[in-house]
Amino acid sequence: MQRLPIGPLYYEYSRHNEPRLRIQPGETIVVESEDAFSGQIRTNADRRDKSIQPKGNPQTGPIWIEGAEPGDSLAVTIREIKPLIGQCSTRTSDPRQLAEWLGTECPHGTHVCAINDGQIHWSDKLTIPYRPMLGCIGTAPDWGVPTTIPAGVHGGNMDIIEVCPGNTIYLPVFVPGGYLYLGDAHAAMGHGELSASGLEMPAESTITVELRKGKKISGPRIESPTELMTVATGCPMERATAEAFAKLILWLEADYGWDRWRAYDLLTHVASISVGYYAIGTVATKIEKRYLVGNA
């Protein structure tokens, strides 16, 4: 099995970088990634120093998938996400939209937690279940070079908790080879990523990358054993929610034989949502697969 170690840290989803790994469709690989703080926080005494590294969410890649061409899509199944150094970290620093109610005198709040036995040790008295996910995964667009801060039709910084082991992430291919990047692993994260930091960790992710020839998609999709999800980003979040729902309806129409208006009606009653980083308005809309049996 090929392994891609941490190397140059990329803060953009760029087609201009030399591929660091070339794989065949269907290949399973291990990808190491640095944490969202670029490795600056390892102890509670450490501080995120933006004068040294102002950018966040470094990515490992790009990965070239043989045969991938514009108009195809990638199906990336996450097999496992393991902590590289047995710990994760988070911090408080800027309450942002909450300042209206909480004030602005927010301490830095560096907080490092050990990970073992399937638990994140928040304190001597409190543990959080280890539920890893990738905050960032995406392909390189053919126009422009998005950073690792927003999400978009290429994927990117979605911060959706369902980007996790056991699920498959579908991403559009815009350029030959696909140019897949990933990083920003979290040991756990709540909906909304309130402080703009999950429980960030350097990680090794085992993934299988398959190629869907001629399967053009309009943005990221996620499939779990029990659910289908579409993702959209934008502010106000109401618009992103509407876009994600529309994309889910069109997916049901194209691949599952649903009349779009019948699907619209059904989703009104059975759909749910998952919220990524609230400040950039990322939303995944979801339907359980058990509802797909009756497409009338």
pLDDT tier, 296 (very low <50, low <70, confident <90, very high otherwise): low
Please check whether residue 1 is in contact with residue 205, taking contact to mean a CB–CB distance below 8 angstroms. Answer: no
Contact 222, 168 (CB under 8 A): yes
Find the mean pLDDT for residues 223-233: 98
Domain ranges of the chain: 3-212, 226-293
pLDDT at 115: 98
For the segment 201-205, the average pLDDT, to the nearest whole number, is: 98
Question: What is the homologous superfamily of the domain 3-212 according to CATH?
Answer: Acetamidase/Formamidase-like domains (2.60.120.580)
CATH code for the domain defined by 226-293 = 3.10.28.20
Residue 237 in this model has a pLDDT that exceeds 90: yes
Q: Which residues contact 174 (CB under 8 A, 6 or more apart)?
A: 15, 70, 139, 140, 141, 142, 154
Q: What is the pLDDT of residues 60-79, one digit of tens each?
A: 999 999 999 999 999 999 99
**pLDDT on residue 293:** 86
User: Which of the four pLDDT bands, split at 50, 70 and 90, describes residue 203?
Assistant: very high
pLDDT band at 49 (very low <50, low <70, confident <90, very high): confident
> What integer pLDDT is reported at residue 95 of this predicted model?
78
pLDDT of 284 reads 98
Number of neighbours of residue 79 by Cβ within 10 angstroms: 13
Share of the chain above pLDDT 70, in %: 99
Confidence of residue 295 (pLDDT cuts 50, 70, 90): low
pLDDT score, position 84: 98
Asked if residues 197 and 36 have their Cβ atoms less than 8 Å apart, the reply is yes
Mean pLDDT over 263-276 rounds to 97
Closest Cα partner for 237 from 276, 282, 277, 192? 282
How many angstroms separate the first and last alpha carbons of the chain?
45
Task: Determine the Cα–Cα distance for residues 231 and 159; give it in Å rounded to an integer.
Answer: 11
For 82, list phi and psi in degrees, rounded to 5: -120, 140
Rounded Cα–Cα distance for residues 290 and 273 (Å): 17
